[in-house]
Structure 1
Amino acid sequence: MKKIYVVRHCKAEGQSPEAQLTDRGLKQALDLREFFSEIKIDRIISSPYKRAITSIRPLAKKLKIQIEIDTRLAERILSTQNYPDWFEKLKATFDDFELKFEGGESSLDATKRIVEVIESIFNSNHENTIIVTHGNLMSLLLKHFDKDFGFDDWKNLSNPDIYLLKYKNNKVTSERLWK
């Protein structure tokens, strides 16, 4: 059985690719290290965003595992425009996967890229992999494997958050591990 631990980054100061973790987020990164202390991990792959890398760095150092960067794990861009009703626009993309706003990426396009990452991991020799990504992209991945996962579930994600994907007998199951 192959396992992928899908981690949403810790609490950050903002949304830009260079946003740092808050003081609380830095403590959460240590909590993540502790959470995984008894779990065998073979590989760590992260979004290129600073908040994702910093979230997993304490664990990577402890395990002496190089963090691989994969741009396909970067946060989904809803739009390059600043919409006052962005929350409603995001909700609409959970209902219409082909909906795309100016300069943005549809849910379908974003899902395709993260599913490519997951499939490549399941087809690799690694048994236990951590991927570190962002809330919206994580939600789209979980919805891909569980059609009932929706906008309200996205709203209930925490920073950090962890879901476990298990691949066995050509079937993928998901389970929330972070409480």
Structure 2
Amino acid sequence: MDKTIYLIRHCQATGQSPDAELTEAGRKQAQDLAEFLRGRQVVHFISSPFTRAIQSIEPAADQQDLPIEIDDRLAERVLSTEDLPDWMEKLEESFGDADLKFAGGESGKEATARAMEVLSEMKDRTAAVTHGNLLGLLLKQIDESYGFSEWRKLTNPDVYEVTIKQGIPSVTRIWS
């Protein structure tokens, strides 16, 4: 079955913890996101359990009087449970080696697998909110040319339209 899915990176937040809320600018971005999605006939909203993701999509769901389904598989990838001063280099390495795993963390392959599970279950016209690292891994899974340098260009928020025609996905950035 052909379908269109919107993969969204959350709006600007106060931090990286699961309970970090949106900033003042992030709240305005969430309103802009709701306007952006209004004409796209979204019928289902799904979000990471993290506060910033839920707050990013609440205005759109409210506007369309639709509930938000929470799915833990859309939570941000844990790169490591240890403090990594060189986390950016480690993240770049992990884009090149999907099996690379740091202390207490999840490999890119593991994170991609759980996110792709959710993607495969999504209905046509679903808008799904997740996080930068996981979104980057999903985009790389759909389009091999997507890598670390493309990940660095992600914005808060960001929106990608994934179209699946005859089982073949393609992706286009539609947020500007």
Equivalent AA in structure 1 for residue 117 of structure 2: E
Instruction: Determine the C-alpha separation between the residues in 1 that align with 2:45 and 2:152.
Output: 26
Match of 2:117 in 1: 116
Cα deviation code 1:53-74 (max 9, x no counterpart): 0000001001011000000000
Matched, 1:137 2:138: no
Match of 1:61 in 2: 62
Instruction: Determine the C-alpha separation between the residues in 2 that align with 1:127 and 1:82.
Output: 39
SS in 2 for 1:164: strand
Output the TM-score relative to the length of structure 2: 0.98
Match of 2:6 in 1: 5
Cα deviation code 1:11-62 (max 9, x no counterpart): 0000000001000000000000110111101100000000000000001001
Runs of at least 4 residues off by over 4 Å: none
Matched, 1:164 2:165: no
Match of 2:24 in 1: 23
Instruction: Determine the C-alpha separation between the residues in 2 that align with 1:36 and 1:144.
Output: 24
Instruction: Determine the C-alpha separation between the residues in 2 that align with 1:116 and 1:59.
Output: 24
Equivalent AA in structure 2 for residue 175 of structure 1: T
Instruction: Determine the C-alpha separation between the residues in 2 that align with 1:8 and 1:18.
Output: 16
Give the superposition deviation at 1:127: 2.1
Cα deviation code 1:74-118 (max 9, x no counterpart): 000000000111110010000111000000000000000000001
Cα deviation code 1:146-177 (max 9, x no counterpart): 11100001100000000000011111010000
Instruction: Determine the C-alpha separation between the residues in 1 that align with 2:103 and 2:124.
Output: 39
Match of 1:32 in 2: 33
Output the TM-score relative to the length of structure 1: 0.96
Q: What residue ranges of structure 2 are gaps of 5+ in the alignment?
A: none
Instruction: Determine the C-alpha separation between the residues in 2 that align with 1:8 and 1:57.
Output: 14
SS in 2 for 1:36: helix
Match of 1:71 in 2: 72
Q: What residue ranges of structure 1 are gaps of 5+ in the alignment?
A: none
Q: CA RMSD in A?
A: 0.6
Match of 2:98 in 1: 97
Equivalent AA in structure 2 for residue 114 of structure 1: A
Q: How many residues of Structure 1 are paired with residues of Structure 2 in the alignment?
A: 175
